[in-house]
């Protein structure tokens, strides 16, 4: 692939990331995706110069042009994350597979941010992603992985009465299994629990009162899924060698 191809993919990812920010905002407000973009503070409709991914945030100094309220850092971060995700996907998939993975991972980004902000995994985003993934990976390995991962989380949910695991995570595990298969989803789960533990310890150390607030788990599951998608065989090989030492 040429540098121009990757530049186009990156710019496309920035534009899609800008749209994902709209999806996240309007899901929160239960609004239609139709209509012009507006400032969430003063409700002023935004001009095209206000909507250039990343550039507009930097050009405006992170503030609304009209009311001067601060613009959340979420907006450029989601745009950049989506662009980088598109670049990664373009190196491991092409054709129809690229569009399949792009759609699913765009859904993952929305779920990541929404759960981080609201402690909820929106079904309206998750279920279509599962429907798209199901026929694409319709094989015994992936179906068993989806059932096993979801069943594992369902057991935790039932035993803890929803205190250790939300039911949204049970449903998210279905998508993880359909994406990764048995070996991959095992790696993703281990990574997610490790990441959750490390971040939890860091938050406890930084907080004077300890970790008393709820920490959403979906972002760790999604991070673990992405890492497993890229490096599951290498991680399994490294772990096997570690056990043999």
Range of the domain at 161: 121-245
Q: Are residues 75 and 140 in the same domain?
A: no
Same domain for 127 and 234, yes or no, is: yes
Task: Please check whether residue 157 is in contact with residue 197, taking contact to mean a CB–CB distance below 8 angstroms.
Answer: no
Last residue of a domain, one of 41, 74, 92: 92
Same domain, 166 and 60: no
Res. 22: pLDDT tops 90: yes
Looking at the fold, whether 129 and 233 belong to one and the same domain comes out as yes
Alpha carbon separation from 65 to 28, 54, 75 (Å, rounded): 23, 15, 15
Residues 132 and 245 in one domain: yes
Judgement on whether residues 154 and 67 belong to the same structural domain of the protein: no
Q: Give the other-Cβ count within 10 Å of 114's Cβ.
A: 23
In a domain, 181, yes or no: yes
Distance CA 34, CA 32 (A): 5
Give pLDDT tens digits for 55-102.
999 999 999 999 999 999 999 999 999 999 999 999 999 899 999 999
d(CA 17, CA 106): 8
Those residues whose C-beta lies under 8 Å from the C-beta of residue 152, and which sit 6 or more positions away, are 173, 189
Cα distance between residue 35 and residue 17, in whole Å: 18
In a domain, 153, yes or no: yes
Query: Looking at the domain assignment, is residue 83 inside a domain?
Result: yes
Are 185 and 235 in a shared domain?
yes
128 and 240 assigned to the same domain: yes
Work out the pLDDT band at 210, boundaries 50, 70, 90.
Answer: low
Render pLDDT for 139-172 as a digit per residue (tens, 0 to 9).
999 999 999 999 999 999 999 988 888 899 999 9
Give me the number of domains the chain comprises: 2
pTM of the model: 0.92
């Amino acid at each position: 692939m040429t540098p121009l191809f990757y530049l186009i993919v990156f710019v496309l990812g920035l534009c899609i990331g800008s749209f994902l920010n709209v999806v996240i905002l309007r899901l929160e407000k239960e609004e239609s995706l139709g209509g012009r973009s507006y400032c969430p503070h003063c409700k002023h409709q935004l001009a095209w110069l206000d909507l250039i991914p990343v550039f507009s945030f930097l050009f405006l100094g992170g503030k609304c042009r009209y009311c001067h309220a601060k613009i959340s850092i979420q907006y450029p971060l989601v745009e950049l994350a989506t662009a980088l995700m598109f670049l990664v996907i373009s190196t491991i998939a092409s054709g129809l597979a690229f569009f399949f993975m792009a759609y699913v991972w765009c859904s993952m980004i929305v779920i990541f941010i929404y759960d981080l902000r609201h402690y909820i995994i929106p079904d309206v985003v998750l279920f279509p992603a599962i429907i798209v993934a199901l026929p694409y990976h319709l094989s015994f390995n992936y179906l068993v992985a989806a059932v096993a991962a979801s069943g594992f989380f369902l057991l935790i949910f039932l035993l803890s009465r929803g205190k250790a695991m939300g039911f949204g995570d049970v449903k998210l595990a279905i998508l993880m299994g359909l994406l990764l298969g048995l070996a991959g989803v095992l790696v993703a789960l281990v990574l997610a629990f490790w990441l959750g533990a490390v971040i939890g310890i860091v938050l406890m150390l930084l907080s004077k009162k300890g970790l008393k607030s709820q920490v959403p788990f979906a972002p760790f599951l999604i991070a673990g899924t992405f890492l497993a998608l890229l490096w599951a065989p290498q991680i399994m090989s490294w772990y096997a060698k570690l056990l043999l030492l």
